[in-house]
Structure formats: structure tokens, C-alpha cells
Amino acid sequence: MSSNTTRRATALIALATSLIALMAPVSKTMAGDAVRGSQLGQTCLGCHGAPGLRNPSPVFEVPMIGGQHAEYIVAALKAYKDKTRPHPTMRAQAASLSDQDMEDIAAFFSKMDGNSRPGAASAELIAEGEKKAAPCAACHGKTGDGPSPTFPKLAGQYASYLTHSLKEYRSGERQNIIMSGQSANLTIEDIKALSAYFASQQGGLSAPQAEIFK
């Protein structure tokens, strides 16, 4: 090896080493700390920890986030922060959170047990929704309680929130390339039936309660 090549190789190794050193703290900060998340998450309880609390306009119940997939919670918070999701209060809530804050909060909420209260829709509407839900199973799981971390759990979520979300995807107010395609051809009757079906399924979601925060 010529001394030139050796020098170049040494320089490359030095560069690679410093790059690795730069990257190491980044990957380390990405693991969520549920204890820190429980402190940061206190402020979220006022709404998400109050079962049945309604968003004033449009009216729908504040979604359950206890037991939701951590990866999806982080994606949702980022979408509010970068304003690709429209809700003004949640944009304000997410605005000051760092990536690390989001990971910690998500670690905390995702570890919670589900205690969802299945909705009180008619058996007929639920059965109708089940038939329409076949195309959703690939991503969300048959009952909406799927294991894939990038697809939100729907099982046991409030029907009013599921309806609100599907209408927002359909209108383009909430942007997601997959869900915009999935919702494009749904009628309001389809949306009501699908929401009733998923809301009535047993799943891992809960409205986090204060006593869980000990």
C-alpha cells in the first residue's frame, strides 16, 4: 500500500469513527423512558384520562391512547407538531415536545393495559360493519387489535372518534396516503357500520386513569 492510500484509509477510518460517535447518542435517545413519560404525561390526563370526555366541535369522544402502539403514538404526535394533522389543541400540546419527550410519553401510554368499554351499537350494525371490515384486516387485524406497531389499534376505541377519523381521511383534512385510499369510497353508512364494529371489539385500548400513574 502506498503511503497516500494508507493516509486516505486512515482518514476514512477516522471519519467513520466520528460518524459512529455522532450517531450513538441519537440511537440511544430513541428508547422511550416510561418513568419520565409518566411525568410528562400528567398534562395529557385532563382529556385522555377522562372517559367519555367530548371534543366540542365537531363532537366526538377524546380517543383512548392507553395501550396504543408506541410507534403510532410517536407518529401521531409528530403529525400534530408538523401540522399534517389538523386538530388545534393537539397541535398546541405537541408543539413543545422534543422527539425524546414523544418517545418517553409513548413508552408510558403504550405499556398500559386495555380496559376498553365496547360501544353500545345494535347487533345488526355491528354485523354489517364486520362484513365491510375484511379489507382492513391486513393492517389493523381482524378485530382491529393487530400487532403491527405502525397501524393503530382500533378495537374498543370510541365509535365517535373512529367515525371522525374516517371522515377526516375521506375529506383530506387528515392526510395519510394509505388511509386516504382506504376511505375514499366509503359512504357515511359504511363509516358508521365500520366504527360500530371496531368499537365493539375487545382490545388493548384504555382511557388512562389517574391511579395508573403511581
Could you give the CA distance from residue 125 to residue 196 in angstroms, rounded to a whole number? 7
Q: Is 81 in the site for ligand HEC (CB under 6 A)?
A: no
Give the type of residue at 123. Answer: A
Among 77, 126, 199, 207, binds ligand HEC (CB under 6 A): 77
Least distance from C-beta 123 to ligand HEC, angstroms?
19
Q: Is 151 in the site for ligand HEC (CB under 6 A)?
A: yes
Among 121, 126, 162, 199, binds ligand HEC (CB under 6 A): 162
Looking at the Cβ atoms of 67 and 152, the one nearer to ligand HEC is 152
Q: Is 55 in the site for ligand HEC (CB under 6 A)?
A: yes
Which window, 11-19, 21-29, 45-53, 113-121, contacts ligand HEC (CB under 6 A)? Answer: 45-53
* Residue from 204, 180, 182, 181 nearest 73 by CA: 204
Among 49, 103, 119, 140, binds ligand HEC (CB under 6 A): 140
Triad 77, 168, 138: Cα angle to 5°? 80
Omega of the bond leading into 25 within 30 degrees of 0 (cis): no
Looking at the Cβ atoms of 29 and 149, the one nearer to ligand HEC is 149
Could you give the CA distance from residue 8 to residue 5 in angstroms, rounded to a whole number? 5
Among 47, 100, 114, 118, binds ligand HEC (CB under 6 A): 47
Q: How far is CA 57 from the centre of its chain?
A: 21
- Dihedral-angle region of residue 141 (phi above 0 means left; psi in -120 to 50 means alpha; beta otherwise): left
* Residue from 197, 167, 199, 160 nearest 184 by CA: 167
Could you give the CA distance from residue 172 to residue 52 in angstroms, rounded to a whole number? 26
How many alpha carbons fall within 13 Å on the CB side of residue 142?
0
Binding mask 170-189 for ligand HEC (x = CB under 6 A): ------x-xx--x-------
Could you give the CA distance from residue 1 to residue 201 in angstroms, rounded to a whole number? 68
Among 65, 159, 196, 207, binds ligand HEC (CB under 6 A): 65
| Chain residues that interact with ligand HEC, rule: CB under 6 A | 43-44, 46-48, 55, 62-63, 65, 73, 75-77, 85, 87, 89-90, 93, 105, 135-136, 138-140, 150-152, 154, 162, 164-166, 176, 178-179, 182, 194
